[in-house]
Amino acid sequence: MNWQEARAFVIAFCLFKPRASLATGLLVAIAGLVEALGLVLIIPLLQIAGGTGARGHWSTLLDRLHIDSRPEQITLVLSAFAALMLVRAALISIRQSAVIRLELEFLSSLQIRLIERLGAAPWSAIVGLRHARVNRILGSDIQRLGQAAIGLVQSIVAAITLTVQLTISMLLSPLLTLLAVLFVATGALLSAPLFRAARQVGDSVTDANLMMVNEVGQFLGALKLAMSQNLAPRFVADFSGAMTDSVQAELTFVARENRSRLRMTVAGIVMAGGIAGIGLGVVAVPVPTLVALLLILSRMAGPAQALQTQALEVVRALPAYAQIRELEAELASDRGLATDAILPALEVLSFDRVGYRHPRGADGAGSGVDALDLELRRGEFLGVAGRSGAGKTSFADLLVGLYHPQAGRILLNGTPVTLANHSAWRDRLAYVAQDPFMRHASIRENLLWSNPGASDAAIARALWIADADDLLARLPEGLATWVGERGSLISGGERQRLALARAVLRDPQLLILDEATNAIDIDGEQIILHRLREACPDTTILMIAHRLESLRRCDRILLFDAGRVVAQGSFETMRSRLVAVERDDATIAAPHAAQTQGAS
């Protein structure tokens, strides 16, 4: 077992809200003390019931209270015992509420912190993350950590309770108590292999959960393909295999844990008999004191067993905690804090010898852009063309601020800026991708995602610009229409129109369209582009497109190849080059389409 991970988890939990943790610990200690004192009352009760009368301190106390008769003494002791048990029950109730609150707030803080790290992480760290891994950590791993948090608190409860009970037991008979401690310590050493097995089970469950989340994600992502080609049984088989392995690992460990618990129970009975024999025959402990001691020791069996069980629960969850810490480390932002410094309105945005190369690529060197020298001016409609992999998307990503330039500078109105660090820059642009994201919500909610304060008039204007007003007129529920998961209840062209309307609602200074209209017919696309130019004359529009006709309205077109701008000019002057690019892309796409059709 990795003790560093265990220590880190314990420290993180205890320091999350130290005052609340300390208060909970005090409640536990007081409840344990109250219970132990109640058990100690067995001594005078047995003395009185045996007809010998209370002796020692108990006799002095009863004399001071002027309680002489036997029934009165028994009533007093029983009443004191009942009062102590009521106080203990009240303390336990308060403690349980405090523990649950502490656990829920701790887990919530972990989830919020992870989401904040995701939101603040550089794009280079986000782009390589497996979605299944993040979903597993925020789902099953957090749940397992919740069980571990409860286990940790219960372990602390058990440890404090044992400490209080041992203290009272030591006051009754130090020798017999030390014998019991020696026995418990020996049992703890013998159970060490069980902790190693718990860690192994934790690793196995963590891996199995990732496999299951991954399979479910892929199945839902490829649901149409799986159902249409009868591929669903493969997903089911993989999922069932992972689930079976996980269940088997859990059952094997539980069986081993049960055997250990049974052995400890038998050994505990033997220990109690041995202590009773030693107490009567060797140490000559008075019978009432021995009975109270045995009761206390028997009560210690529960906390001792709980301490082992809950500690095992913590160990089983340590792999989940390790995964959370690992993800947090990966998401540690290396781009610095985003600045809210005031930026001037966009007049001219310049790329001065800007270069960026991705770390991975089909050629081993990575795709990207090299030595870009270009300008975007306010109100300009700029087209970007080029073969697949030419650097168009990398250029757009640098423009958005997803990446830092590895070489060169980006200047806003002649002043160097770091776009990746400027939240103000991101507030003034809108980006529409080829496959736009739609929330599982209504059309209105999806539109307002980009601008929650937008008025109905602004929404109507944006829908008209995106040529989506007719779509709303055809839907019985209008803006209240639900679009489904990722917009599955509407067509691809309708998703693109709504995404364009959402972008227009931001009233951006820079609008980037990355193949954002390729699911819309040419006539519909031309209507949208015409309305954009007329309604948003001061907005700089950057349009990345493969389709020749999509670029017809552009003021200037940049042709990318191998990460560089190899030509630029108007649509007419660039027409022959654009035709060649469109023909080459069609030639490349044809074998792939044929291969896909053959596989079907």
Q: Where are the domains of the chain?
A: 8-330
Measure the CA–CA gap between 245 and 253, rounded to whole angstroms. Answer: 12
The mean per-residue pLDDT over the stretch 535-541 comes to: 94
Measure the CA–CA gap between 198 and 88, rounded to whole angstroms. Answer: 33
CB atoms within 10 A of CB 106: 20
Measure the CA–CA gap between 586 and 243, rounded to whole angstroms. Answer: 44
SS3 labels along 268-308: HHHHHHHHHHHHHHCCCCCHHHHHHHHHHHHHHHHHHHHHH
Give yes or no for a contact between 537 and 576, defined as CB atoms under 8 angstroms apart.
Answer: no
Measure the CA–CA gap between 466 and 444, rounded to whole angstroms. Answer: 15
User: Domain 8-330, CATH 1.20.1560.10 — does that match?
Assistant: yes
The whole-number pLDDT of residue 570 equals 93
Q: Provide the angle, in degrees to the nearest 10, between the axes of the packed helices 522-535 and 492-505.
A: 0
The larger pLDDT score, comparing residue 564 to residue 163, is at 564
Confidence of residue 333 (pLDDT cuts 50, 70, 90): low
pTM here? 0.69
Give yes or no for a contact between 265 and 274, defined as CB atoms under 8 angstroms apart.
Answer: no
The whole-number pLDDT of residue 505 equals 94
What pLDDT, in 10s, does the model give residues 40-83?
777 677 666 666 655 555 666 666 776 777 777 778 878 887 88
Measure the CA–CA gap between 91 and 23, rounded to whole angstroms. Answer: 12
Share of the chain above pLDDT 90, in %: 23
What pLDDT, in 10s, does the model give residues 398-451?
998 888 899 999 999 988 888 876 778 888 899 998 888 888 889 999 999 889
What does the angle CA 48 – CA 53 – CA 59 come to, to the nearest 5 degrees? 110
Residue 382, phi then psi, degrees to nearest 5: -110, 125
Give yes or no for a contact between 414 and 353, defined as CB atoms under 8 angstroms apart.
Answer: no
Give yes or no for a contact between 72 and 200, defined as CB atoms under 8 angstroms apart.
Answer: no
SS3 labels along 95-140: HHHHHHHHHHHHHHHHHHHHHHHHHHCCHHHHCCCCHHHHHHHHHH
Measure the CA–CA gap between 375 and 271, rounded to whole angstroms. Answer: 86
Residues 6+ apart with CB under 8 A from 514: 393, 396, 431, 432, 433, 434, 544
What pLDDT, in 10s, does the model give residues 103-141?
888 888 888 888 888 877 777 778 777 777 888 888 888
